[in-house]
Amino acid sequence: MVDFKITDEQQLIIDNVRRLIRDEIRPLEEELDPDAFSLPESEKDRLVGMVKDMGLYKMDVPTEYGGPGVDLVTRTLVAEELSQHRAGLYSPAYGVFGSGPPGQLYNATEEQKEKYLWPVIRGEKSSFFGLSEPSGGSDPARAIKTRGVKDGDDWVINGGKLWNSGADTADFGIVYVRTDPSKGREGVSAFIVDTDTPGFRVERLVQVLRAHYTTELSFTDMRIPKENLLGEEGGGFALANEYLSMQRIPYSATGLGVAIYAHEMATDWAKQRETFGQPLANRQAIQWMLVDNEIDIRTGRWACLAAADLAQRGEPFRFESSMAKLVSTEGAGRVVDRSMQIFGGLGMSKDLPLERWYRELRIRRIGEGPSEVQRIVMARDLLNIRSGS
């Protein structure tokens, strides 16, 4: 049974984060380009200092790696707060809370941790995630065509990746490669790839609906030392799957944060704006939109917290994680759409953040697993169908 009561400690954390977003991030954002996704360095440094003083820097790093030890339920609650500003969906709090290393690196060898995991935790290196390819992303077990062939002490990798956010600024990436074409998911291995490796190229920055771009990569006879194989040979897909399921929960909650802010704005506007002698809020059509917003937000929140609670207790959470992603992203899209309708023409303009959220939330129904794939995952659990059949 899930207890949704927020503890005093959680409330204190939420209040601190909320204050920082409302009193610091939102006013700064007024001066930035409407599509900006980063803060000037001096402002970022100042805010990182404030977050460190709060004891909330790099919240997702476990205590044994020097993190503050914030549990997944609390991180989900915080994620909902972090995104409540214009750039919040894809740049929550502009990164001033810091982010941990890719989860797969916690399974790395000690040498790999020394070279990659610790520098990320210290903020000296950044990484990207290379799974999807032009041949597909939702079914990586079959879609991965990038080929790795063993040659002496190296692996020689040829192929490419698509939709790799941050690959142009990263120092290294976790790249999934087919090392045995005779096998399905067991033929995929994960490698740590330094971006200065000869043969590594960012072919182009790919422009999409959101304010930030993504990248297309190519690998040509790229030699990766065997020491950079992450986990077991053929164990890459299992590594990715576990990571993606866990990430899906706070990722889903950031979508909710945007919906909460949009709903808050729409509610205030409905009370102020008068048409035909009465506030919009007196009109049943508007009241129903606001109620539907509230229902979408609460349903999404419960789904996210239920998934986080299960994952935190070490119980199976794959179904709930997919449900959280599906319900919160689709619900948040509807909330922003209704809020724009309530604002009328102003809702379309770049004066308000709604148009940016509208564009970016559309991507959320596809990124990190489309809604249809989430339904496939849930159906497999419901019908007890083995994954990969």
Partner 1 sequence: MRIRKPWTEWDDEINFKSLPGAMGVFEIADEDRKTIYIGKASGKSPFGLRGELFLCFADTARLEDANWTHPKMGQVLPTIKEKGKYYRYEVNHMYYSRWIEILTRFNEDHGRLPPANLEDQEDIPKLGKYHWKTQESAMED
Q: Which is nearer to partner 1, 76 or 195 (CB)?
A: 195
* Of 37 and 118, CB closest to partner 1: 37
Burial of 158 per CB tally in 10 Å (0-12, 13-18, 19+): middle
Q: How far is the CB of 95 from partner 1 (least distance, A)?
A: 11
Nearer to partner 1, 42 or 384 (CB): 42
State the Cα angle at 23 between 18 and 28, rounded to 5°. 120
Closest-CA residue to 85 (of 239, 272, 211): 211
Task: Give me the residues that bind partner 1 (CB under 8 A), please.
Answer: 32-38, 40, 166-169, 195-196, 200-205, 207-213, 350
- In what helix (H) or strand (E) does residue 302 lie, and over which residues does it extend? helix 284-312
CA distances (Å), origin 31, targets 24, 40, 97, 346 = 12, 11, 21, 19
Q: Say which residue the tokens 């040659």 belong to.
A: 151
Smallest gap from Cβ 33 to partner 1, in A, equals 5
Instruction: Provide, rounded to whole angstroms, the least separation between the CB of residue 207 and partner 1.
Output: 5
- Whichever of 80 and 360 has its CB closer to partner 1, that residue is 360
Q: How far is the CB of 135 from partner 1 (least distance, A)?
A: 23
Is the backbone of residue 315 left (phi > 0), alpha (psi -120 to 50) or beta? beta
In this structure, what token pair is assigned to residue 276? 């035909």
Q: Find all residues with CB under 8 Å of 365, minimum gap 6, and list them.
A: 329, 330, 333, 371
Active site residue 264: no
Active site (catalytic) residues = 368
